[in-house]
Amino acid sequence: MYPNSSPINSNNTQSPFMIQQEDEIDLKVILFNYLQYWPVILFFAFAGLVAAFFFNRLTTPIYKVESTVIVKDENNSLGADLFESAGLVGLQGKSNIENEIGVLKSFSLAQETLNKLDFNVQYFEEDFLKYNQIYGNYPVFIKVDWTKEQVVGGLFKIEVIDESNFQLSIVENEFQIFNPNDPYYKTNLEELKLSQDVFQFGQPVKGDSFEFTVEKVSAIGGEQVFFKMIDTPSLALNFKDQLTVSPSNKQSSILILGLETPLRRMGEDYLNKLMETYLQRELDDKNRTAENTILFIDQQLSGITDSLRGSENKLQQYRSENKIFNLSQEGSIIFERLQEYEKEKGMNEVNLKYLQTLSTYLGSGQAGELVSPSIVGTTDPLLNALVQNLSELQAERVRLTANFSDQTPQVRDINARIQSTTKALQENVNSAITNTKNVLADLNNRIRMIEQDINALPETERNLLGYQRQFTINENIYIYFLQKKAEAEITKASNMPSNMILDFGKSGVLPVAPKRSLNLLIGLILGFILPIGFITVKDFLNTTIEDPKELEKQIKVPLIGMIGRNNSDDALPVFNNPRSTVTESFRSLRADLTYLSMQREKLTLLFTSSISGEGKTFVSMNMASVFALMGKKTILIGLDLRKPRIAQDFGLTNDKGMSTCLSSNTSWKEVVKPSGYENLDVILSGPIPPNPAELLLQEKFSRIIKEIKDNYDIVVFDCPPVGLVSESKELFAFADISFYVFRQGYSIKGNTQILNNLVEKGGVSKIYGVLNDLHIDKGYGYGYGYGYGYGYGNNSYGYHEEVQLPWWKRALRRQK
C-alpha cells in the first residue's frame, strides 16, 4: 500500500578539530547573546554610575577618630616603698589586656563619660534631601532638665522670628518618653502636640512630657535650626557600639581606640573624655584601699582621743593635789615592766578588734571594704596574702561585671574564686582570733602578777602609777594610729594610674566613608551584573528554542535549513519579494535538496511540526514556490484537514479539496486549483470532515498520491502537526524527504523529543529539521534576520536586499 523508502546513512563522527572549533563558536554564541541587549546593559551601567554618584553626594562623610592608651604593669607609686610593710600599696596585679578592652568598651564607662559631656541635645541644619548634624558654634542653645520626664528621639524645628521670639514645630513625630526614675526603659508616644507654636527665648517651653529652655546665641531672624533630644543611656549604648578597641599588635600593650563619626571634633572630645574617665576610674580603685584605711583609723581615733584626754586630766590633777611628780626607783622599775606588758596588750587588743571587724565584713559580704591586716600590726603572712588576694579578686570582679553579665564564664569563675578565698580567709581569721585571745590571757596574767608588786608600794605612789599607767597606754595607741594615718594619706597622695594616655583623639583629614571611587566601581559593576543576570535567568527559564546550535544538539537528525523572519505581511515572499533574505533561505534549502535526493527528477516533500503555529504551511508554500520558479511542475497539497491555511494565503476558496476526493467520487484533477503563479498548482484540504484521520488512511488516498506523482515533478505535502494528530505519522511513507519545522522563540524545547521518537521508534527515515522565523542572533553564522546569514553581508553584490547591520555586528564581522 505504501511505497518504500530507504533511509539515508550518515556518519556523525567529528574530528577533534571540529569539536574544538564548535566549542569556540559556543563562546561566541554566549557573547552574541548578551551583545544583542547592549543598549539595555549600557543603560543599566550608566544608571549604576548615576546612582553611585548620588549616593556619594547624599551620604554624610564619616571620619575616623583615633587615640592610644598604654596599658602598663602596675608599679609602686612614689613613696609607696616606704610603707610596703604597712600593706598600703595598690592591690591590683598585672593588668590584663582583654579586661582593659572590656572596661573601655563597657556601657558604664560610656555613660559615666557622657555625664561629663553635653551631648544630649543634637543640632542639625537642613541640606539637600537630608539633615546634617552640627557641633559647636550653635545658633541657639537648648537647656534640658533631665531630672524630669522628657521626650526623646523626635526632631524639632526652630525658626527665629526676631530677637525675642521663635516658632517651634515638629518635623519627625517619632518620640519616646524618658523617665529618669526608670532610665533604661522608655515608652512610645503616639503623637506629640504643642499647645502653642510661638515662644520666647529664655522662657521654659513646657508640655505634657517635656520641659526645656531655648537660649539665643547667634541666631538671626529667619534662621532655622533643627534639634533632637537623646537620653544618656541611649547615647551611651550608641557610643559603646561604635567604639572599637584593639591592640596595636599581638605583643604590644598599646590599645588603639577608634570611633567613626560625621563630626570630627565631637569624636575627639568624646575619646579624650573617655580616656580621662578611664584613668580616673583606675585611680579611684587604687585610692579606695587608702581611703578605707583612713576611715578605719579615724573610727579608732575618735574613741581613743577621749580616753587619752581623760587620763591626762586625771594624771595632772592627782599630781597637783598630792604634790608628787615622779615615781621612786622601785616604782619606776615596776612601771617600766608594766608599761611593756600594757603596750603589748594594747596592740593585741587592736589586732583582735580588727580581726573581729574583718570577720564581720566577711560574714556580711563586704569584703570589698577590707583594710590590710598590716595596718594594725598583724604580721601573719598567710592572712596578709589572703586579704590581698581577695581584694584583687574583688577589683577584678568589678572590672568584669562592667562589661559582662553574671552568667558569663569569666564572671562565674571569678565568683567561684572569691568564694573559695573568702572561705579560706574566714578560717584563718577564726584561728587568728583564738590565738590573739590566748595571748591576751597570758598578758593579763603577767599584768596581775606585777600588780601584786604594785600593792606593796605606798598608796600615793601606787595611785600615781595607776594614773601614769592609764595615760601611757592611751598615748601609745594614739601615737600609733596617728602614724598609720599619716602613712595612708601619703600613700593616697602618691597614687597614680598605672595606664597612660599616649595620643589624644585625632581625626583623619580624609573621610573613611563613603568610599567614592569604590562606590562608583560597585555601581558600574552592579549596572552590568543586574541586566546580565536577568538575561541569564531569563534564558535559563526560557523553554522555547532560541539557539540553532542548541537545537542541533537536541535533535538526532541534521538541521538542514534555517529560514529567516519574514518582515512583510506577504505569505509568499519567494514570488513577491525574490531578493529578500527569506527567499534566499528557501533557495539555499532547495540547493541542499540536490544532495539529499540523489539527483532524482521527481521529488515528494513533506512538511510537519510539533504544534500549530510553527510555520510549516509557510515553509511548504514557499518551498513549492522555489521549485515552481525553477520551471518544475509543482503541486502543493494541503493535508491538514483540521485547520487549513493554504486557501487564505493564496486567496482561494476552500470549497473543495482533498477531503472532497476522499469522501466522494470526485477525481483529484477536479479539485486542483491554479495558484495564480506559473508552474504551481494547489490542492486545498477542502471542507473540514468529521473523520480526517480515517480519510487519509484509505487506499484511495494512496492511489491519488501515486497519480499525482506521475503528473508532477515536485509534490509538496502540508501535513498536520505530528505532535497533535496521529495521521501525520502515516504520511511519512509517501514522502521522499520529510522536514520537521521548528520556530525560533516559539517551539518548546521538549518538542524535540517528538522528532527523536519518530526516528528511534517510528522508523521514519530521510527526515530533517528546519528552523523557521530565525530572528534572534545567537552568534556568528546565524544572523539571518539581519541579512548576512549566508556570507553576503554589506557587499552582497546585488544578490538580495540588505538590512543595515548594527555597528557592533559590522565590527565583529570585519574581525572574523
Report the pLDDT averaged over residues 264-273.
94
Mean pLDDT of 238-265: 91
Choose the CATH number for 544-815 among 3.90.79.10, 3.40.50.300, 3.60.21.10, 3.30.930.10: 3.40.50.300
pLDDT confidence of 529, banded at 50, 70, 90?
very high
Per the CB < 8 A criterion, the answer to whether 8 and 765 are in contact is: yes
Average pLDDT over residues 38-47: 92
Residue 798 has pLDDT above 50, yes or no: no
Taking residues 646-651, report their average pLDDT. Answer: 88
Contact 719, 639 (CB under 8 A): yes
Cα 679 to Cα 632: distance, rounded to the nearest angstrom: 6
**Percent of all residues in the chain with a pLDDT value above 90, rounded to a whole number:** 36
Question: What average pLDDT does range 58-71 have in this prediction?
Answer: 91
How long is the chain?
816
Residues 589-594: what's their mean pLDDT? Answer: 86
Instruction: Name the strands in the sheet holding 559-564, side by side, starting at the edge strand that comes first in the sequence.
Output: 559-564, 767-774, 737-743, 603-609, 714-718, 634-638, 680-683, 672-674
| Strand order, beta sheet including 176-178 | 150-152, 176-178, 187-188
Grid cell listed for 444: 593579763
Per-residue pLDDT, averaged over 116-139, amounts to 91
CA terminus-to-terminus distance, the chain: 53
What residues contact 264, with CB distance under 8 A and at least 6 apart? Answer: 63, 65, 507
Phi/psi at 614 (5° precision): -90, -5
Q: How confident is the model at residue 486 (pLDDT cuts 50, 70, 90)?
A: confident
The pLDDT-based confidence of 329 (bands split at 50, 70, 90) is low
pLDDT at 801 over 70: no
pLDDT classification of 295: cutoffs 50, 70, 90: confident
- C-alpha to C-alpha distance for 162 and 156, rounded to whole angstroms: 19
User: What's the burial of 597, exposed, middle or buried (CB within 10 Å: 0-12/13-18/19+)?
Assistant: middle
Q: In the chain, what are the domain boundaries? A: 18-62+515-540, 121-230, 280-503, 544-815
Contacts of 60 (CB under 8 A, 6+ apart): 130, 132, 133, 262
Cα 796 from Cα 801, distance rounded (Å):
8
pLDDT the model gives residue 592: 86
Strand locations in 685-731, DSSP E? 714-718
Say yes or no to pLDDT of 312 above 70. yes
198 - beta bridge partners?
167
Whether pTM > 0.85 for this model: the answer is no
- Among 12-16, 285-289, 537-541, 738-742, the range with the most confident prediction by mean pLDDT is 738-742
Q: What is the mean pLDDT of the chain?
A: 80
pLDDT digits (tens, 9 = 90+) for 727-768: 778 888 899 999 999 999 899 998 899 899 888 887 788 899
Give the residue-averaged pLDDT of 339-362: 78
**Confidence at residue 794, expressed as pLDDT on a 0 to 100 scale:** 36
Least trusted range by pLDDT, from 351-360, 363-372, 390-399, 661-670: 363-372
Q: Which pLDDT does position 672 carry in this prediction?
A: 93
Cα(224)–Cα(232) distance, integer angstroms: 26
Say yes or no to pLDDT of 300 above 60: yes
The sign one gets for the Cα dihedral 516, 517, 521, 527 is positive
Q: Give me the pLDDT at residue 49, please.
A: 94
